[in-house]
Amino acid sequence: LGMEFSRINNAQIKVTMNGYINKLLDELDIKDTVVNPAGPNLFNINNKSELLNEKDKKQFHTICAKLLYASKRVRIDIATAISFLCTRVSKPTKDDMSKLIHLLKYLNSTRDHYIILSATNNLQIKAYVDASWGCHHDGKGHTGIYATLGSGPIIAKSIKQKSIGLSSTESELISLTDAYPSIAWLRSFLIEQGHSVGPAIIYQDNNGVLELIKNGSGISAKTKHFKIKYFAIKEKIDNNELTLVKCKTEHMLADIFTKSLQGSLFKTMKNNTMNYST
């Protein structure tokens, strides 16, 4: 898998992919460095940019696949950037390639980054779910999911939404339905191991979603697919499988998986989600 595990103490494990990352960067002869995986205009598409030739297109696709592999195991700090770039593999442009090279330069400056998984006596699933409304060129939003047991990432996902939300509230509701299968699987896995597990806590920073789930206001005016998403989440809450908790926006860890954060905000969120300090 390319992952390296080392025990820090009885409650902490360090996970790296240094060998995998070093091999890729050395093969591509990446020398320069940058401090962020992507610029602030990650989701912007330059329609005037020239398409890549077949050789470069194939290389673009191959590198994206390798970076996606790393992002799903250890390098969750590149999840948003590579998630977007993977939507471009069918018709990549020179502008897309420049964004990919930027990402590689970031990896070159962070070759030794790792995650730390820390155990506690309480097997409480805590998940942070967020969305960016309409950030893609086709009007679709982007979902960010981050879940932990103790501290450190158990689930970390950055994914383009499959349907268009007609409001930020609907986009957040889509993100909850995107997140539920992974969280439900984790909860079921723990139960099957014989552990007593309460409802998974999902932190949300959208007041519209919290009010909607609480009292159902406005449902009658929404479209059918919106109703279905609402009732699907409401059912899980009523069955004591999930509970929604208000989270301040500045504490929303899934924010790093929905947009291209910059500067100190990116560094803080990166350290908090990967569970270490630099």
Residue type, 275: N
Say whether 38 sits in a helix, a strand or coil.
coil
Both structure tokens of 11: 């409650």
Q: Which of 122, 160, 151 is nearest to 258 (CA)?
A: 160
H or E, element range at 243: strand 242-246
The pTM assigned to this predicted structure is: 0.93
Check: CB of residue 203 under 8 Å from CB of residue 183. no
Buried b (16+ CB within 10 A) or exposed e, 93-122: bebbbebbebbbbbbbebeebbbbbeeeee
pLDDT (tens place) for every residue of the chain, 278 residues total: 899 999 999 999 999 999 999 999 999 999 999 999 999 999 999 999 999 999 999 999 999 999 999 999 999 999 999 999 999 999 999 999 999 999 999 999 999 999 999 998 888 999 999 999 999 999 999 999 999 998 999 999 999 999 998 889 889 999 999 999 999 999 999 999 999 999 999 999 988 888 888 776 555 555 566 677 777 888 899 999 999 999 999 999 999 999 999 999 999 999 999 998 65
50-95 pLDDT, tens digit per residue, is 999 999 999 999 999 999 999 999 999 999 999 999 999 999 999 9
pLDDT of amino acid 271: 96
147-169 pLDDT, tens digit per residue, is 999 899 999 999 999 999 888 98
Average pLDDT, the chain: 93
pLDDT of amino acid 234: 86
